[in-house]
């Protein structure tokens, strides 16, 4: 159970982070456990997650807050969990295009994520994050459908080409299992093949296979799927998301779908 002193009053000291104003309704606070399940969310956090009352409590963070999902946040969370040190990251949500600043720190209950979205002008943030635009332009310039995944196969980002094939809004797919997409969930055998490929890639193997997918209605399409482990240092740099390599412990996965 969460200790009440963390979340009562107007402020609290969490881990090694400085004191923060939990009573500020414009700032969102999530606490997630080791399985990345939400165990606490203040009122503003529930608004950001578009949750009703306590609906987000007990659900996986990435599933419940698609507009907050990004490779940068995932890498920052990974860094915090591995180093047990406080981390901060500023990124632009792929869903809303709004800039967010997140402070992360560890407690006995899990990891605290403190979101601020009352940031300065977009031009200033672009100056502070010169890699953001380069990453987005590179992702969207690729002719293939490209998806960035966690090692467990949750969707962190996706380019417009892949969204067109999926034929679903970005906010519907972000944070959801890649293997559950309608492209292959219509066929249990194919879906299991995708799950097995993701498991192999998460162990550091480059995986390539052909599949017949159903992107829209009854239309079928033959594609080549390549899943590549992404090797990244413990970093919050968005450009690291598109640097591929092989590692026994892939930090993320990059999937290319070519028709």
* Burial letters 230-246, b for 16+ CB under 10 A, else e: bbbeebbbbebbbebee
Residue-range domains of the chain with CATH: 4-116 (3.30.450.20), 140-258 (3.30.450.20)
pLDDT digits (tens, 9 = 90+) for 6-28: 443 333 334 433 334 444 556 89
At 117, is the pLDDT very low, low, confident or very high (cuts 50, 70, 90)? confident
Q: Say which residues have a Cβ less than 8 Å from residue 121's Cβ, sequence separation at least 6.
A: none
Residues 25 and 119: their CA atoms lie apart, in Å, by 15
Highest-confidence segment of 118-122, 217-221, 228-232:
228-232
């Amino acid at each position: 159970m969460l200790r009440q002193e963390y979340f009562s009053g107007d402020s609290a000291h969490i881990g090694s982070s400085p004191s923060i104003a939990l009573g500020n309704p414009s700032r969102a606070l999530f606490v997630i456990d080791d399985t990345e399940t939400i165990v606490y969310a203040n009122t503003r956090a529930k608004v950001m997650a578009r949750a009703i009352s306590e609906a987000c409590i007990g659900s996986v963070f990435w599933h419940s807050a698609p507009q907050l999902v990004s490779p940068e946040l995932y890498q920052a969370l990974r860094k915090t969990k591995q180093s047990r040190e406080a981390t901060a990251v500023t990124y632009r949500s792929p869903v809303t295009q709004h800039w967010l600043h997140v402070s992360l720190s560890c407690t006995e209950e899990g990891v605290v994520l403190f979101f601020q979205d009352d940031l300065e002008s977009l031009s200033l943030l672009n100056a502070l994050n010169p890699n953001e635009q380069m990453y987005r332009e590179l992702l969207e310039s690729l002719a293939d459908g490209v998806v960035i995944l966690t090692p467990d196969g949750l969707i962190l980002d996706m380019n417009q080409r892949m969204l067109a094939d999926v034929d679903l809004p970005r906010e519907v797919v972000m944070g959801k299992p890649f293997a559950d997409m309608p492209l292959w969930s219509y066929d249990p055998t194919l879906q299991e093949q995708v799950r097995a490929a993701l498991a192999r890639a998460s162990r550091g193997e480059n995986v390539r296979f052909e599949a017949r997918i159903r992107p829209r209605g009854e239309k079928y399409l033959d594609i080549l799927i390549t899943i590549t482990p992404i090797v990244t240092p413990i970093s919050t740099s968005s450009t690291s998301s598109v640097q591929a390599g092989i590692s026994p412990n892939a930090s993320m996965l990059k999937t290319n779908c070519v028709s």
